[in-house]
């Protein structure tokens, strides 16, 4: 199996902060807005480097999205950031009207997404945001897997002309994305080639999927791991090529079933080449307080559960 | 610059356009369109520095207007057509399938002069502030204008935007409230009273100008002059225009009942009988 080196545990939100600074240096049109969460979203370096291009909005997310849209209309490239819940559910109407139907070049920076937010509990563990953002015409949805990919995705989002939902998280996780591997919006990455089963994973679940593939290898199962970094538009070519080769797949995401990656891939397969699927996700429920590792295990979303699901789905081929 | 008398004549034609568009479309929002028709006519014909021939959506080096109360497309489209953004004849397509003149403003359809979509109330002020801040970053000396309804001011986002603009000293922004006292379900005071709007905006850190008669062209022009004089003084400006819903047609005036209803053919004829045709109907 292809080996990926964990360069050290880092949070994906810090990858966003680094990418934002990089994008800001490369393009003076880049501006940043936040609703009293500069530190949490690691925007400090950008704010220090470009104080005139950084806008503190206070705890008023609706206005932040609107102001960002206005700045985009006037030619800026705004990144508007807050916790996942507050830049999706709380401001869904604003994102729909001002950003998507309004066709403004706004980047929604969404941190602390998913159950791995941990101790803050269910109020902040957003697992419905991908569904909400996917439903909006014109919205690109990116859910990078680690620090390096989040940094690269942030830079790519700044260069892309159009609305982007960029989802990342709070906990420190393995940073394994090779520094020399470029990131492209809309591309799925086959991180490990296999023949028996595919694991489609997104976000923090990609590392869990790689660990699961390692465990499966020890049991003689050759699992293909595909990183779906861009959920919309989905790289259907890569998805179909993989599952037509392996014949069965697990879809792993830190999101609930409704409107998530699992349903998305199921929909693509139903219309083209139906194959057995198993789902690793938050089902249809809210989370609770706990450490990220505890929660992933308790909700059936860690590497061990992915490996089990892979074996199960192979039996249905 | 046009005289008050000329502007009044144009506003009469704009009201004719409003009544005709809504009648032809058999739907739309005439009441609020007619309450703000006078000061928006002044804004488009005398106050704003905008050139349809050079207009771009980014508003660079031009004054920019946002219609936050997006349902007031009849007055908006009439003014855009009458100032040369698109042919007056296109007003006949209002709300028809395939039109650029969507029920609420759409940028997707590419109608010249439309800077942003609106229709979900309370959002235009924030977007206007965003453009104003970008203009400051770009050292663009032009201004941003935005119109909100008084009923719309029940939206919390209006007050989020109010705090934000004052905090960031957005002093190249002139907001207007069409204070006609009516909304769909009745009078604003009966639905969800706004209280002392002037005191509220002052408390939010804005410079406030109150126009006692928002249909008096001299008062309107004086208010815009005063607003321009306040530019660059560290505060956003709010002009509160006290107006009458449905102003200009006796049976439509002063009631919420014409917020979102189209006149019948007979009512249309009666209304047009009260409004002088000054620029030629579409």
What pTM does this model have? 0.97
Altogether, the residues listed in chain A come to a count of 317
Question: What local confidence, expressed as pLDDT, does residue A271 receive?
Answer: 97
A189-314: CATH topology is: Rossmann fold (3.40.50)
The answer to whether the Cβ–Cβ distance between A70 and B127 falls below 8 Å is yes
> Going residue by residue through chain B (282 aa), what tens digit of pLDDT does each one get?
899 999 999 999 999 999 999 999 999 999 999 999 999 999 999 999 999 999 999 999 999 999 999 999 999 999 999 999 999 999 999 999 999 999 999 999 999 999 999 999 999 999 999 999 999 999 999 999 999 999 999 999 999 999 999 999 999 999 999 999 999 999 999 999 999 999 999 999 999 999 999 999 999 999 999 999 999 999 999 999 999 999 999 999 999 999 999 999 999 999 999 999 999 999
Q: How far is CA B72 from the centre of its chain?
A: 7
Strand order of the β-sheet with A77-83 is A54-56, A30-34, A77-83, A107-111, A164-167, A140-142, A230-232
Mean pLDDT, residues A134-146: 98
Asked if the C-beta of A103 comes within 8 angstroms of chain B's C-beta atoms, the answer is yes
To 10 degrees, what angle do helices A147-159 and A12-26 make? 30
Query: Residue B113: what are its φ and ψ, rounded to 5°?
Result: 100, -15
The answer to whether the Cβ–Cβ distance between A70 and B132 falls below 8 Å is yes
Longest dimension (CA), chain A: 59
Closest CA to B219 of B254, B253, B243, B248: B243
Question: What local confidence, expressed as pLDDT, does residue A120 receive?
Answer: 96
Name beta bridge partners: A79: A32, A107
Domain boundaries, chain A: 10-174, 189-314
Name the CATH superfamily for A10-174: Thiamin diphosphate (ThDP)-binding fold, Pyr/PP domains (3.40.50.970)
Rounded to a whole number of angstroms, the distance from the CA of B161 to the nearest CA of chain A is: 6
Question: What local confidence, expressed as pLDDT, does residue A291 receive?
Answer: 97
> Is the ipTM beyond the 0.90 threshold?
yes
Closest CA to B247 of B175, B170, B195, B179: B179
CA A222 to CA A244: how far, in whole Å? 15
Mean pLDDT, residues A234-245: 98
CA A282 to CA A258: how far, in whole Å? 10
Question: What local confidence, expressed as pLDDT, does residue B77 receive?
Answer: 98
Question: What local confidence, expressed as pLDDT, does residue A170 receive?
Answer: 97
Q: Quick one: A137 exposed, middle or buried, by C-beta within 10 A (0-12, 13-18, 19+)?
A: exposed
Query: Residue B159: what are its φ and ψ, rounded to 5°?
Result: -85, -30
Interface of B with A (CB under 8 A): 57-60, 106-108, 115-120, 122-135, 137-138, 156-157, 160-161, 163-164, 167-168
Q: What residues of A act catalytically? A: 61
Encode pLDDT of A57-103 as tens digits.
Answer: 999 999 999 999 999 999 999 999 999 999 999 999 999 999 999 99
Encode pLDDT of A159-216 as tens digits.
Answer: 999 999 999 999 999 999 999 999 999 999 999 999 999 999 999 999 999 999 999 9
Q: How many CB atoms lie within 10 A of CB A108?
A: 28
Work out the percent of chain A whose per-residue pLDDT is above 90: 100
Encode pLDDT of B17-39 as tens digits.
Answer: 999 999 999 999 999 999 999 99
Chain A residues inside the 8 Å CB shell of B120? 93-94, 96-97
Averaged confidence pLDDT in chain A: 98
Cα angle: A43, vertex A48, A51; to 5 degrees: 100
Encode pLDDT of A255-273 as tens digits.
Answer: 999 999 999 999 999 999 9
Domains of chain B: 4-272 (3.40.50.970)
Q: How many CB atoms lie within 10 A of CB A44?
A: 13
Q: Are the beta carbons of A74 and B130 closer than 8 angstroms?
A: yes
Rounded to a whole number of angstroms, the distance from the CA of A152 to the nearest CA of chain B is: 26
What is the band of A296 on the pLDDT scale with cuts at 50, 70, 90? very high
Chain A residues inside the 8 Å CB shell of B105? none
Question: What local confidence, expressed as pLDDT, does residue A152 receive?
Answer: 98
CA A263 to CA A271: how far, in whole Å? 12
Question: What local confidence, expressed as pLDDT, does residue B156 receive?
Answer: 98
């Amino acid at each position: 199996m292809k080996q990926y080196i964990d360069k050290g545990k880092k949070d994906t939100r810090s990858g966003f902060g680094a990418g934002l600074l990089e994008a800001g240096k490369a393009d003076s049109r880049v501006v940043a807005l936040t609703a009293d969460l500069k530190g949490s979203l690691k925007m400090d370096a950008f704010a220090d480097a470009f104080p005139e291009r950084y806008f503190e909005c206070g705890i008023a997310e609706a206005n932040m999205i609107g102001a960002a849209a206005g700045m985009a209309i006037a030619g800026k490239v705004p990144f508007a950031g807050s916790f996942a819940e507050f830049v999706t559910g709380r401001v869904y109407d604003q994102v729909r009207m001002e950003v998507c139907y309004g066709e403004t070049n706004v980047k929604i920076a969404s941190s602390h997404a998913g159950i791995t937010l941990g101790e803050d509990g269910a109020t902040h563990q957003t697992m419905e945001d991908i569904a909400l953002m996917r439903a909006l015409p014109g919205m690109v949805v990116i859910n990078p897997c680690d620090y390096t990919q989040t940094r690269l995705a942030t830079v790519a989002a700044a260069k892309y002309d159009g609305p982007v939902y960029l989802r990342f998280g709070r906990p420190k996780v393995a940073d394994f994305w090779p520094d020399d591997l470029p990131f492209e919006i809309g591309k799925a990455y086959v991180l490990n080639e296999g023949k028996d089963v595919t694991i489609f994973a997104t976000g923090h679940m990609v590392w869990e999927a790689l660990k699961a593939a390692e465990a499966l290898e020890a049991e003689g199962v050759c699992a293909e791991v595909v990183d779906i970094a861009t959920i919309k538009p989905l790289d259907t070519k890569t998805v179909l090529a993989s599952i037509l080769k392996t014949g069965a797949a697990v879809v792993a995401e830190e999101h609930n079933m409704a409107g998530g990656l699992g349903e998305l891939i199921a929909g693509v397969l139903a219309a083209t080449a139906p194959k057995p699927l198993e789902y690793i996700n938050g089902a249809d429920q809210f989370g609770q307080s706990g450490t990220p590792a505890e929660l992933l295990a308790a909700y059936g979303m860690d590497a061990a559960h992915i490996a089990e699901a892979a074996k199960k789905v192979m039996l249905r081929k | 610059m046009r005289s008050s008398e000329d502007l009044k004549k144009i506003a009469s034609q704009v009201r004719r356009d409003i009544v005709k568009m809504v009648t032809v479309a058999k739907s739309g929002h005439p009441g609020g369109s007619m309450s703000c028709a006078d000061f928006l006519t002044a804004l488009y014909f005398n106050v704003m520095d905008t050139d349809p021939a050079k207009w771009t959506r980014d508003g660079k080096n031009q004054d920019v207007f946002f219609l936050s109360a997006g349902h007031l497309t009849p007055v908006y489209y009439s003014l855009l057509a009458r100032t040369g953004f698109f042919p007056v004849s296109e007003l006949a397509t209002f709300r028809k399938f395939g039109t650029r003149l969507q029920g609420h403003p759409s940028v997707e359809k590419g109608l010249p002069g439309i800077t942003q979509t609106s229709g979900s109330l309370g959002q235009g002020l924030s977007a206007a502030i965003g453009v104003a801040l970008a203009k400051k970053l770009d050292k663009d000396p032009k201004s941003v204008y935005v119109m909100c309804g008084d009923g719309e001011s029940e939206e919390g986002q209006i007050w989020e935007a109010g705090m934000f603009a004052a905090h960031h000293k957005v002093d190249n922004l002139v907001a207007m409230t069409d204070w006609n006292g009516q909304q769909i379900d009745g009078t604003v005071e009966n639905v969800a009273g706004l209280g002392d709007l002037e005191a509220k905006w002052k408390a939010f850190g804005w410079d406030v100008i109150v126009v006692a008669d928002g249909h008096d062209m001299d008062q309107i022009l004086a208010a815009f002059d005063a607003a321009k004089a306040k530019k660059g003084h560290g505060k956003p400006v709010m002009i509160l225009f006290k107006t009458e819903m449905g102003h200009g047609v006796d049976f439509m005036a002063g009631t919420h009942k014409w917020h979102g209803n189209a006149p019948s053919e007979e009512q249309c004829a009666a209304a047009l009988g009260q409004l002088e045709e000054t620029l030629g109907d579409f």
